[in-house]
Chain A
């Protein structure tokens, strides 16, 4: 298995532009999580899905952030419009047992820089 695949690896965009981050979980995993990591705030859970359904999006910082999981093999995190304070590394993680009973498998992350 290729693991959790995220794209792009790096994204540099101008303030106000729309950014879309993509994640392909491990086949057979039924839970997917989006995290944001910064030096100041550490690792923050943004949203998680179980069986493609959003379970808790209370970590999404603002309405500018939205996430979808149209099927079991694909999820997106969108920021519109982007702001410099959104600069961070965004990780996607998946797991096969509801909520991480086996631990998470993380993707390599997307390093987002908003200038």
Chain B
């Protein structure tokens, strides 16, 4: 069955630290990949997406993600986090059909 795995459930960083959140998926065909962010008490918002082309995708607020097909990975990165980046981050994969599969989420807490 298709699945999305986010390696870390909780991450705690200090401001200015670099961030990398892992995401792996299980599907051998063509995929569309997404990262969503959910700030405390709010709804999910699209952070960035990958369809094709350059595997390094840049999103809003300085986030980027790299698609490595051979590793079935789509890790999220940010060189220097801010307190305002405290949120839950969801990796999501769309394969064929109508469904997008979401990972379990990673809660990031940034210490000021």
Interface residues of B (CB under 8 A from A): 32, 34, 36, 42-46, 49, 51, 90, 92, 94, 97-100, 102, 104-105
Besides A43-B44, A45-B102, 9 more A-B contacts (Cβ < 8 Å) are A31-B98, A43-B105, A99-B97, A99-B99, A100-B94, A100-B99, A102-B49, A103-B46, A104-B44
Please give the distance in Å from A61's CB to the nearest CB on chain B: 17
Residues on B with C-beta less than 8 A from A104 are 36, 44, 46, 100
Binds B, one of A20-28, A66-74, A106-114: A106-114
Residues on B with C-beta less than 8 A from A100 are 32, 34, 92, 94, 98-100
Q: A50 to B34, Cβ gap below 8 A?
A: no
- How many contacting A-B pairs (Cβ < 8 A)? 52
Q: A91-B44, A106-B43 are in contact. Are A101 and B99 (CB under 8 A)?
A: no
Q: A56 to B44, Cβ gap below 8 A?
A: no
State in angstroms the CA–CA spacing of A42 and B100 once bound together.
Answer: 15
Q: B98 to A43, Cβ gap below 8 A?
A: no
Instruction: Find the residue from B34, B36, B44, B49 having the highest chain A CB count within 10 A.
Output: B44
State in angstroms the CA–CA spacing of A80 and B100 once bound together.
Answer: 28
Q: A91-B43, A91-B44, A108-B43 are in contact. Are A103 and B34 (CB under 8 A)?
A: yes
State in angstroms the CA–CA spacing of A101 and B94 once bound together.
Answer: 7
